[in-house]
Amino acid sequence: MKRHDRLPGFRDFFPDPVPHPDLARMAERLHLFSSWRKVVTRYGFREYDGPPLETLELYKAKSGAEIVHQLYHFEDKGSREVALRAEMTPTLARMIAAHARNYKKPIKWFSIPQCWRFETTQRGRKREHYQWNMDIVGEPGIVAEVELLTAVATFFKRLGVGPDIVGIRVNSRKVLDVAITKAGVPRDKFEKVCVVVDKLDKIGAEAVKCMLTEDLALPSQTADVILQCLQASSVDDLAKAVGLSQSDPAIAELKTLFELCTAYGVGDYLDFDASVVRGLAYYTGVVFEAFDRKGELRAICGGGRYDRLAELYGGEKCQIPFCGFGFGDCVVVELLKDYGLMPDASPSVDVVVAPFDATMQPHALKVAASLRKDGLSVDAALT
């Protein structure tokens, strides 16, 4: 790498015309951000922001080993261990833990932070990305998840991405929790089990079983029950695998979620998928991930319920239910390009004002000023 090269996994955003097709277009980023903003405005969410640098401890507390491993972290000049923001959720939980009492619940907030993770770069995965976050705080019921899932589907619809192109896989960690508890696994192993099980797609059932039995010391029979849960093809199947009745709250909740999303008109986007558990340690209930149906790209977005994160930062008084999602800007751009759905969004000017010669310059500027005052976009020729 040469001294002035761009770091791998980072992007320069060029205005059109972009010098090379592999470079990122600023116009695409703006198009995406404005589409996200249009959706959140329709859902009545308020925008918040936080610092791009946080204490290392904030992420270590609950994000999970994978994210912690990917953190850009260092000691600052005040000898504090700090990390670049890898995701927005810990920042949001910290902000709410400190100020929840000042807000009427439910709190509906969104943000579009830039995040940094030292990942292996590949199509749709960089070392920095922008991530649209929508989170609902203070609503324990499944209606919160429904609101978020319909917002994701509404975004896809707006951009012409139909349910034939993308889907949203939904599952609930609560059911897995019941299965694990029934099998006698100590409560404190639950998150570790979820993190292992999240690798199923990448490493296969054999290797997952091996990790469950060897790394987490679970009995082989328990590992089998867990793997059986992950293979369930419907909510009913899952209930059967775990030995739960249809009226069990975890099962009934999932069914209601699908019914409500269908009533909203976005049921076609949703699939039940028992193998989705998500890699982040803090999720406690429904979890979901959007994916391309051709299976060529990494996850488009991901989220779920995390009812115990704020408690970690603010203590027992902060037992506040949360759920939300993060939707990155990289995979969706690849998808929109693949399907020819990325419009040429680069802004154009209404008028060009050019002086005939230097003596006409003051008059040209006067004309430009007057047209700009009237709201037109004017390109004033400089020579």
Shortest CB 193 distance to ligand HAM, Å: 18
The correct pick among 91, 111, 131, 284 for binding ligand HAM (CB under 6 A) is 131
Positive or negative: CA dihedral 63, 65, 66, 69: positive
Residue number with the shortest CB distance to ligand HAM? 328
Instruction: Compute CA 191 distance to the chain's CA centroid, rounded to the nearest angstrom.
Output: 19
Dihedral in degrees, nearest 10, Cα atoms 219, 221, 225, 230: 70
- Name the helix (H) or strand (E) containing 353: strand 351-353
The answer to whether 331 contacts ligand HAM (rule: CB under 6 A) is yes
Shortest CB 80 distance to ligand HAM, Å: 23
Closer Cβ to ligand HAM, 314 or 324, answer by number: 324
User: CA 256, CA 249: separation in Å to the nearest integer?
Assistant: 10
The answer to whether 269 contacts ligand HAM (rule: CB under 6 A) is no
**Using the 8-state DSSP alphabet, how is residue 281 labeled?**
T
Shortest CB 214 distance to ligand HAM, Å: 26
The answer to whether 325 contacts ligand HAM (rule: CB under 6 A) is yes
- Name the helix (H) or strand (E) containing 148: helix 143-158
Query: Residue 288, by phi and psi: left (phi above 0), alpha (psi -120 to 50) or beta?
Result: beta
Tokens of 15: 């205005």
Closer Cβ to ligand HAM, 82 or 331, answer by number: 331
Beta strands 24-25 and 13-14, pairing class: parallel
The correct pick among 28, 45, 64, 87 for binding ligand HAM (CB under 6 A) is 87
The answer to whether 85 contacts ligand HAM (rule: CB under 6 A) is no
The answer to whether 89 contacts ligand HAM (rule: CB under 6 A) is yes
User: CA 86, CA 88: separation in Å to the nearest integer?
Assistant: 7
User: CA 145, CA 78: separation in Å to the nearest integer?
Assistant: 41
The answer to whether 113 contacts ligand HAM (rule: CB under 6 A) is no
User: CA 131, CA 40: separation in Å to the nearest integer?
Assistant: 14
Angle, helices 26-42/330-338, rounded to nearest 10 degrees: 100
User: Which x/- pattern over 132-171 shows residues binding ligand HAM (rule: CB under 6 A)?
Assistant: -x-x------------------------------------
- In single-letter form, the type of residue at position 10 comes to F
Closer Cβ to ligand HAM, 112 or 225, answer by number: 112
Shortest CB 331 distance to ligand HAM, Å: 5
Within residues 273-302, the interface with ligand HAM by CB under 6 A covers 280, 299-302
Closer Cβ to ligand HAM, 131 or 284, answer by number: 131
CB under 6 A: which stretch of 94-102, 130-138, 156-164, 246-254 binds ligand HAM? 130-138
The answer to whether 91 contacts ligand HAM (rule: CB under 6 A) is no
Query: Residue 14, by phi and psi: left (phi above 0), alpha (psi -120 to 50) or beta?
Result: beta
User: Which x/- pattern over 197-226 shows residues binding ligand HAM (rule: CB under 6 A)?
Assistant: ------------------------------
Shortest CB 232 distance to ligand HAM, Å: 22
CB under 6 A: which stretch of 27-35, 125-133, 161-169, 194-202 binds ligand HAM? 125-133
Closer Cβ to ligand HAM, 272 or 306, answer by number: 306
Cβ–Cβ under 8 Å, residues 158 and 39: yes
From 103, 1, 108, select the one nearest 44 (Cα to Cα).
108
From 175, 87, 100, select the one nearest 132 (Cα to Cα).
87
Report residue 267: phi and psi, to 5°.
-55, -30
The answer to whether 324 contacts ligand HAM (rule: CB under 6 A) is yes
Closer Cβ to ligand HAM, 108 or 209, answer by number: 108
Cβ–Cβ under 8 Å, residues 286 and 257: yes
CB under 6 A: which stretch of 22-30, 239-247, 319-327, 342-350 binds ligand HAM? 319-327
The correct pick among 328, 336, 353, 368 for binding ligand HAM (CB under 6 A) is 328
How many other C-beta atoms lie within 10 A of the C-beta of residue 55?
Answer: 16
Q: Which residues bind ligand HAM (CB under 6 A)?
A: 87, 89, 117, 119, 125-126, 129, 131, 133, 135, 280, 299-303, 324-328, 330-331
